[in-house]
Structure 1
Amino acid sequence: MRRRPLLIEGNEEKIGFILDSEVLNVLLTGEENLKFFYELYNGRKPKENVISSVLERIGLSTERKKKVLNYSKGMKKRLEIGRLLLYRPEALLLDEPFSGLDSGGKELLMGVLMSIKNKGTAVLIVSHEMEFALDLADRVMLMVDGRLLAQFKPEEFSRAYVVSGDGVEKLGGITLGPRSVILISPEGVDELIRRCREKGIVVEEVTPLIKAIRRES
């Protein structure tokens, strides 16, 4: 009996992914990996120019015949990006997709993801590198210790701060810890300090949320 491919054209439940762990076959070349995944996703062999076009776009044309075992981490991640260009998933799950990429690789990934998103694919990104993820986001979810703590619009997230000190709970906001809350302030740090003084709160630190996340990663 012919084995049915895992994902085929017309399947209503196509899910693409980039994980923070290796899914590539390191004993195959970059070109062979892309051919394998193309057949897996589409149930047929690729046309002659398809793989060459993808390798050109991800900057690995000259490395196509090299075994992935000898690729750097950044090159492997570029090859992972290439997998996303082989088919059109209904949903895309990305775990720390910017890890291991240089600035050129990050720009490449951003361009690919924006193109995929604009074609109607739902994209879920788990990342500590919020500067890049925010440019793609329609909604930001903050998770702490495996639980969903809060949801933001991208513009709210960019104006969110972590305020620490005794009595900061009087300010309201989202409780981050015993002496820390998250507050959104369009006016910035000065406005938050003023609010603290009005309530007699001695502030220890006010940090942009995006910077606090980067510091904890």
Structure 2
Amino acid sequence: MRGEYMGSLVQLENVTKVIKGRTVLSQVTGTFGRNQITGIRGENGSGKTMLLRGISGLIKTDGRILFDGKEQLANGKFAQNMGILIERPGFLNEFTGYKNLELLALLDRKKREIGDEIKKTLELVGLDPNDKRKFGKYSLGMKQRLGIAQAIIFKPDVILLDEPTNAIDEGGVEELINLLLKLRQQETTLIVASHDSSFLQKIADVTFVMKNGVLSEGEA
């Protein structure tokens, strides 16, 4: 186990989700260590995206989801201080990447004066903070990079990333690996879902396997 283990931060107890009679999450139980990178490996439709949506509070689930031993997600409420990249980020096409992040900061008075942080974060994910192109003109890879930027910019305690390597070239994937390992060193807890086993092997301290809505232990 590569990261320094400091106990469980996120705990799942019999988390279940049924949609139109179909069980998409089946009594999922597991713990995700503090200040670690936990990988969830699974193919499309395996349930890994739905699990991240449940952990984040985007959907209601049966069972229990706890943070630091406290059930903070009752009734679909969001956990505090969490960065999320799940499916397609909802950015505004008519604004630049910088402006989109600036608008997110305006939603929280405490985070409004973060111009320098926006620039640093865009550079971290391989985007030019001075790029005047609108988001609608971004390539798929650029859109994915901006999605990662919005997940990490406010330095959350927990970061959830769903298929973060989508549309990113080989060089960009290596940059992403270095970024995630750096975030872990900064005492951030990351849960990363991906179908790419080689990518997860490079970053994850612990790996789970997701199949047909069931979570099981995988290789470290």
Q: How far did 1:42 drift?
A: 6.5
Q: Which moved more, 1:101-110 or 1:50-59?
A: 50-59
- Give, in whole Å, the separation in 1 of the partners of 2:108 and 2:201: 29
Corresponding residue of 1:4: none
Q: How far is 1:152 from its partner?
A: 2.8
Residue 37 (structure 1) shift:
2.5
Matched, 1:142 2:194: no
Moved over 6 A (4+): none
Instruction: Please tell me whether the aligned partners of residues 83 and 152 of structure 2 are also in contact (alpha carbons under 8 angstroms).
Output: no
Q: Is 1:78 paired with 2:145? A: yes
1:97 paired with 2:164, answer: yes
Instruction: Name the structure 2 match of 1:158.
Output: none
User: In structure 1, what is the equivalent of residue 218 of structure 2?
Assistant: 152
Cα shift at 1:39: 3.5
TM-score by length of 2: 0.58
- Do the aligned partners of residues 63 and 47 (structure 1) sit closer, same or farther apart at CA in structure 2, a change above 3 Å counting? closer
Q: What is the aligned partner in structure 2 of residue 166 from structure 1?
A: none
Amino acid at match of 1:123: L
**Which amino acid in structure 2 is aligned with residue 152 of structure 1?**
G
- Of 85, 88, 98, the residue aligned with 1:21 is 88
- Equivalent residue for 2:121, pick from 44, 47, 54: 54
SS in 1 for 2:144: helix
Question: Higher strand fraction: Structure 1 or Structure 2?
Answer: 2
Q: Give SS of 1:56's match.
A: helix
Q: Which has the larger radius of gyration?
A: 1
Q: Cα distance 1:49–1:98, how it changes in 2: closer, same or farther (>3 A)?
A: same
Matching residue within 18, 33, 39 for 2:106: 39
Call closer, same or farther: CA 1:91–1:29 in 2, change over 3 Å: same
Q: Could you say which structure has the greater relative contact order, defined with CA pairs below 8 angstroms and 6 or more residues apart?
A: 2
Q: Name the CA shift for 1:41/1:122 in 2 (closer, same or farther; >3 Å).
A: farther
How big is the shift at 1:96? 0.8
How far 1:47 sits from its partner (Å)?
4.2
Whole-Å Cα distance in 1 between the matches of residues 132 and 101 of structure 2?
12
> How many Å apart are 1:116 and its aligned residue?
1.5
2 CA distance for matches of 1:41 and 1:35?
Answer: 11
Q: Which moved more, 1:78-87 or 1:39-48?
A: 39-48
Structure 2 gap ranges (5+): 1-78
Identity among equivalent pairs (%): 30
